[in-house]
Amino acid sequence: MAYAIIKTGGKQFRVAEGATVRVPSMNKKVGESVELDVLLLGGDGETQVGGPIVSGARVTASVTGHDRAPKITVFKKKRRKHYKRTKGHRQGYTTLKVDSIG
Domain membership of residue 32 as a residue range:
3-67+93-101
Q: What is the pLDDT of residue 51?
A: 83
Do 23 and 96 meet the contact criterion of CB atoms below 8 Å apart?
Answer: yes
Under the phi-then-psi rule, with left for phi > 0, alpha for psi from -120 to 50, and beta for the rest, what region is 10?
left
Domain-located, residue 34: yes
Do 39 and 3 meet the contact criterion of CB atoms below 8 Å apart?
Answer: no
Number of domains forming the structure of the chain:
1
Domain-located, residue 49: yes
Domain-located, residue 38: yes
Alpha carbons within 13 A on the beta-carbon side of 82: 0
* pLDDT tens digits, 65-95: 999 999 999 999 999 999 999 999 999 999 9
Whole-angstrom Cα distance, residue 1 to residue 17?
A: 9
What pTM value is reported for the model? Answer: 0.80
Pairing of strands 11-16, 20-24: unpaired
